[in-house]
């Protein structure tokens, strides 16, 4: 589980996933616009990715297992 190192109350993060989009293209395959944002998910977010806190921008850290919430942040 990922947590914000600055504030354990921050619960949302930005990270990468790999998806498929439907595009409108010209005759050479050049992008014009997105027709459908997500038609398939190829790879969900991985724990090894960088996860950024959506509220403060800090890089998330792994919460040590078996420890109560908030105690390990000091």
Contact criterion met (CB below 8 Å) for 63 and 53: no
Mind listing the pLDDT tens digit for each residue in 46-70? 999 999 999 999 999 998 777 665 5
- DSSP-derived 3-state class of residue 71: helix
Rounded Cα distance between 29 and 23, Å, is: 9
pTM > 0.85: yes or no: no
Higher pLDDT, 74 or 52: 52
**Alpha carbon 43 to chain centroid, angstroms:** 11
Count CB-CB contacts under 10 A for residue 15.
14
Q: Has residue 74 got a pLDDT over 60?
A: no
Q: pLDDT tens digits, residue range 24-38?
A: 999 999 999 999 999
């Amino acid at each position: 589980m990922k947590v914000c190192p600055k504030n354990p109350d921050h619960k949302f993060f930005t990270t990468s996933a790999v998806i498929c989009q439907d595009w409108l293209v010209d005759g050479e395959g050049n992008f014009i616009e997105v027709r459908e944002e997500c038609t398939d998910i190829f790879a969900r977010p991985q724990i090894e990715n960088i996860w950024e806190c959506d509220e403060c921008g800090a890089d998330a850290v792994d919460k040590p297992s078996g420890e109560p919430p908030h105690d390990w942040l000091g």
